[in-house]
Amino acid sequence: MRIFKKSVFAICAAALSIAASPAAAKFPDAPVTLIVPYSAGGVTDAYARSIGQKLSEMWDQPVLVDNRPGGGTIIGTTAATRADPDGYTILVTSYGFTSNQVLKSSLPYDPKALTPILLIGNSSNMFVINKDQPFNNLSEIIEWAKKNPGELTLASSGNGSSPHIAAELFATEAGVKITHIPYKGTSPAMTDVMGGQVIGIFDGPSSMRRVEAGQLKAIAIASDGPHPNAQGVPTFKEQGIDLVFGSYFGFFVPTGTPEDIQSFIFESIETAMQDPKVAEVIAKTGIIQRNGTQQDFKDFLDSELARLTKLVNTEGVSIIVD
């Protein structure tokens, strides 16, 4: 994994730029809320809580995490779009922000009502299954799934989420029929996978700790090549399935939030991510951390939206979430 480290001088310079911002004199002077459109205990929630705690220390104001699970991130995202554009409400979300725009026939909010602030990083989806399942590799699962259409149950953190998209793309590439079971976040989904109620899930490399503990079996990872945080896990490509896919995680604010406050929030989060405790939380999840600008995040989102649109419309992938 590649984590960008700044020198003490660079961190001090960032802190000085924050203090010099026109917004610094007035923002924040009240509690700030981080909306997470997933249940507590998942990866997105972990990022929000670790970064939020550091922001609270930096800003000398409470930074509260508000979990709004359900609807494939729609409930929490809608709440964020309806908040005042003053910087006091920030959305911390992931791939559902992109997928819902393509896969839903209608949304209760306009995606343009949110402005991207900062990209935390990207992860590759890893296919893990319950430890008591008799399968040990991808070919065994595919062979069984073809003989038992619909019996391959795969959980996800919600309709339209990255694990859901990955599961459907896998089913298309492998020529099998799956049964998708959505949950209100990764934590409850993973609980049922480990409990044997569901066969498997496409999660991030953070699942390796459960694999190493003998709680799950790792079958394949959807990365271009061997993943540094999933040592020994073969890629889908190595097993004959052309699947490269993953999620992203980032911060958004309601559109209309003053530019100086946006810059202040960006610089604050960027500095918070350099804190050793925050960096440790991010490192444990196995994502590839990014160190780009606000514009870089906007460009990245545009490319991800175009990519998914092409997958659905050009390559004929059938993913129904309504």
CATH code at position 215 = 3.40.190.10
What pLDDT score was predicted for residue 317? 55
In angstroms, the CA 237 to CA 96 distance is: 25
What pLDDT score was predicted for residue 1? 40
Q: Are residues 156 and 290 in the same domain?
A: no
Q: For residue 158, what are the domain limits?
A: 126-246
In angstroms, the CA 53 to CA 46 distance is: 11
Q: Are residues 23 and 83 in the same domain?
A: yes
- pLDDT digits (tens), the chain, 322 positions: 444 444 444 444 455 444 444 544 689 999 999 999 998 988 899 999 999 999 999 999 999 999 999 888 999 999 999 999 999 999 999 999 999 999 888 999 999 999 999 999 988 999 999 999 999 999 999 999 999 999 999 999 888 888 998 998 899 899 999 999 999 888 899 999 999 999 999 998 989 999 999 999 999 999 988 888 898 999 999 999 999 888 999 999 999 999 999 999 999 999 999 999 999 999 888 888 888 999 999 999 999 999 888 877 755 555 655 5
What pLDDT score was predicted for residue 281? 93
In a domain, 49, yes or no: yes
What pLDDT score was predicted for residue 103? 87
In angstroms, the CA 79 to CA 322 distance is: 20
Q: Are residues 48 and 187 in the same domain?
A: no
Contact call for residues 318 and 101 (beta carbons, < 8 A): no
Q: Give me the CATH number covering residue 14.
A: 3.40.190.150
pTM score, whole prediction: 0.79
Q: Are residues 217 and 280 in the same domain?
A: no
| Number of domains, the chain | 2
What pLDDT score was predicted for residue 206? 86
Q: Are residues 196 and 210 in the same domain?
A: yes
Neighbours of 37 (CB within 10 A): 32
What pLDDT score was predicted for residue 274? 95
Domain boundary among 246, 261, 289: 246
Q: Are residues 262 and 118 in the same domain?
A: yes
Q: Are residues 15 and 159 in the same domain?
A: no
Q: Are residues 208 and 303 in the same domain?
A: no
Q: Are residues 214 and 199 in the same domain?
A: yes
Q: Are residues 239 and 131 in the same domain?
A: yes
